[in-house]
Amino acid sequence: MALHTPLHTPLHSDAGGLLSYACERPLPAGTLVRVPLGRREVLGVVWDAPEGIDAPPGQRHALPEGMTLRPIAGVLEGLAPLDAPWRRLVAFAARYYQRALGEVALAALPPQLRTLSPEQLARRLRRPAQAPGATDEAMPATETLTVSAEQESAIARIAAEPGPFLLFGSTGSGKTEVYLRCVQEALQANAAAQALVLVPEINLTAQLEERLTRRFAPLFGAAAVVSLHSGMTGPQRLASWLAAHSGRARIVLGTRMAVFASLPGLAFIVVDEEHDPSYKQQEGARYSARDLAIWRGREQNAKVLLGSATPSLESWHASRPPSPENPAGGRYLRLHMPSRIGAGALPRVRRVDMGQQPRRALFSAPLLAAITERVARGEQSMILLNRRGYAPVLHCVDCGWKSDCPHCSAHQVFHKADRSLRCHHCGSTLRVPRHCPGCGSPDILPLGRGTEQLEEQLGALLSDVLRPDRTPARIARIDADTTRAKGALASQLAQVHSGQVDVLVGTQMIAKGHDFRRITLVAAVQPDGALFSSDFRAPERLFALLMQAAGRAGRDAAYMARQGTPCEMWVQSFHPRHAVFEALRRHDYPAFAEQQLQERAAAAMPPFAYQALVRADARTQQLAQGFLTAATAAAQAAGLPGREQVTLYPPVPLAIQRVANVERAQMLLESPARAALQRFLSAWQPVLQATRSQPQHKGLLRWLVDVDPLVI
């Protein structure tokens, strides 16, 4: 008999759809098989046959004369088939994000599973079923925490209503405890139930996994909680996936990739920090894990809880309450928790006009005095600068030379620690020259500032400041450069939590999700870059980053009461009266969101319109833009469905138009109707591929479609 399987191939390739193979016995849809593809043997998933392909049961499918099917190479026995809800999720993601079915399906499986033969998998399944890090030792009883009235109200409404829910809670309001209570109720209601907890970044998984294990291991066993993210080794990811697929794991904690985990008993989904752009995949199938979580919850009848102190404008709009203009309200139910646990106060926001400070000053005198006072009292401060390295660029005073990357239209960043120039786009690295390559002058100076320079200058400014124990102030830096080694981030965070660090300097890595108990002052030293960006989402991202950073201060109400001083958020800006900082001063996200949504509605931008990008990479910018222009003309000539409701803008270079010697161009598509945009994109795919095959576009390297892009 014939079976049909998607393989990991591009949508526009000849093998982009379902392929048919011969099999001696019927296999249920969802079975994993090894199949030949050319000279290779690859993993495939037995798929539901498209309508009209299969003959009636018991009859062999008729093939064109002279054609025979290649037999499958083997079946991965011992694994239950991937269930119908999982297959529908993959099919929807492939269809909506304009990717090949097999590309999404196979990428959703653990990499090691894709390489195992049936015999190797059988040996792997014979090993003791234990998730990474789990032990057979008895776990201590979990502590019972008292919840606030706001938390109790939110938990009750989540239990009573279908959702989806948007939990809008200020930083420190106890959103995580609400997540845990709701997950616990869902798992205790059904012995086969499972929960999925998504976080935006890998560095947030360790502390949450510890808390989940401490809470749920006594209730459901030591192996009840598993993690799933790209920072794990191949065997670890496979073990976690198998535990989830078999139902042994009751809770899966992971980053965006975990939204595709096989969870046959899925009953509850949590998306923490739902506003975070990290939930949007930027390579391959460019899916949004947050949006897929909503779709998956509806498909599997699982409740979905989105949580954030600064929700995305899309989620905020989708959770709007009923009004005379819109009696039905939004699709989500908004739950509000404005108060901090323990009656803790949100930080007072203090703005410093850097136009009134000495030229090139990095720290204003009032901020430096405030940091000094905190160190002397034994308190911690956090300094945020979302730019790593020592300086964004080196330049020559005499001839104007700058440290441009030879492979990208970007500067190489100066890293003083190892005297290197590094491109943060293509990764190329050079030694810092002793003289200007342009004119030979020795006067090469750093221009701008990064976290490395911030740490150095702060160390010099605080060199004479003593802690209460009369020891010098201690400064630490956390960014992508200091956390490359395995275990480095956990070690550095442990030092902060234990009080070994007085001033923490870092990028956005330190601004969200961490529960620092002794930080009483947070400062953003150079936040102006996003205020006048061409990206219409820049103010939203800046406000979220600053609100999240402010939320690291004063989280322990009892500690703040003992210290007797209020927590503070300092913002140094040349535009201290900007609307973003005015809303930040009042901690007024609703007012900020309302103002932004009014601007979006007037400009017909998301969430009031739907967008897609088509990007082309080529050896020259002319080739990249020429391909997009030709594809646009072909679409207009073909009269594709939905075309009358879709606006196609002319192609333009990307902001960083050249990366690794590849020129990049893109064009924006916009429509007031999501369905019309989807119809047009689906019909445009073969037109794009036909345009790509024309001789004049021979230098085109690749093209891709990005639906619901976050960066334009």
| pLDDT tens-place string over residues 687-698 | 999 999 898 988
C-alpha separations of 548 from 60, 82, 350 in Å: 61, 38, 16
At 548, which helix (H) or strand (E)?
Answer: helix 538-550
C-alpha separations of 263 from 85, 111, 362, 510 in Å: 9, 18, 50, 31
Distance CA 540, CA 537 (A): 5
pLDDT of residue 136: 45
| pLDDT tens-place string over residues 12-53 | 555 557 888 888 888 999 999 999 988 889 999 999 876 544
pLDDT-wise least confident of 24-33, 589-598, 600-609: 24-33
Q: What is the CATH number of domain 610-707?
A: 3.30.70.600
pLDDT-wise least confident of 175-179, 203-207, 301-305: 203-207
Average pLDDT, the chain: 89
Q: Quick one: CA dihedral 46, 48, 49, 55, positive or negative?
A: positive
| pLDDT tens-place string over residues 564-579 | 888 999 999 999 999 9
Q: Any binding-site annotation on 396?
A: yes
pLDDT at 68 over 70: yes
Domain assignments of the chain as residue spans, ordered by start? 2-125, 149-337, 344-388+450-602, 391-448, 610-707
69, 22 Cβ separation under 8 angstroms: yes
Give the pair of three-digit tokens for residue 673. 């109707």
Region for 623 from its dihedrals, namely left if φ exceeds 0, alpha if ψ lies in -120 to 50, beta otherwise:
alpha
C-alpha separations of 412 from 423, 425, 619, 638 in Å: 4, 9, 21, 45
Band (pLDDT 50/70/90 cuts) for residue 63 is: low
433, 444 Cβ separation under 8 angstroms: yes
pLDDT at 54 over 50: no
Nearest to 348 by CA among 602, 567, 651: 567
pLDDT of residue 51: 53
What average pLDDT does range 55-65 have in this prediction?
A: 46
What average pLDDT does range 288-294 have in this prediction?
A: 97
Band (pLDDT 50/70/90 cuts) for residue 56 is: very low
pLDDT greater at residue 598 or residue 6 = 598
First vs last C-alpha separation in the chain: 48
pLDDT of residue 529: 81
Q: How far is CA 579 from the centre of its chain?
A: 27
The two domains 149-337 and 344-388+450-602 share their CATH topology (first three levels equal): yes
Q: Any binding-site annotation on 182?
A: no
Helices (H) and strands (E) counted in the chain, each on its own, are 19, 28
| pLDDT tens-place string over residues 427-474 | 999 999 989 998 999 889 898 889 999 999 999 999 999 999 999 999
Band (pLDDT 50/70/90 cuts) for residue 490 is: confident
| pLDDT tens-place string over residues 252-264 | 999 999 999 999 9
| CATH number among 2.40.50.140, 3.40.1440.60, 3.40.50.2300, 3.10.105.10, domain 2-125 | 3.40.1440.60
Q: What is the CATH number of domain 344-388+450-602?
A: 3.40.50.300
What is the pTM assigned to this prediction? 0.91
145, 221 Cβ separation under 8 angstroms: no
pLDDT of residue 140: 52
| pLDDT tens-place string over residues 658-701 | 999 999 999 999 999 999 999 999 999 999 999 998 989 888 99
pLDDT-wise least confident of 160-169, 414-423, 480-489: 480-489
* β-bridge pairing 2-6 and 568-573: unpaired
| pLDDT tens-place string over residues 271-287 | 999 999 999 999 889 99
pLDDT-wise least confident of 284-288, 291-295, 339-343, 517-521: 339-343
Q: Any binding-site annotation on 439?
A: yes
pLDDT at 364 over 50: yes
Q: Any binding-site annotation on 23?
A: no
Distance CA 228, CA 108 (A): 11
Distance CA 533, CA 580 (A): 13
pLDDT of residue 530: 80
Q: Any binding-site annotation on 567?
A: no
Task: Count CB-CB contacts under 10 A for residue 449.
Answer: 19
Distance CA 108, CA 317 (A): 30
Instruction: Let me know if domain 149-337 sits in CATH 3.40.50.300.
Output: yes
pLDDT-wise least confident of 81-85, 129-133, 417-421, 424-428: 129-133
What residues are paired with 662 via a beta bridge? 659
Instruction: Please identify which residue in the block is written with the tokens 């300092």.
Output: 570
Q: Tell me the one-letter amino acid at 434.
A: R
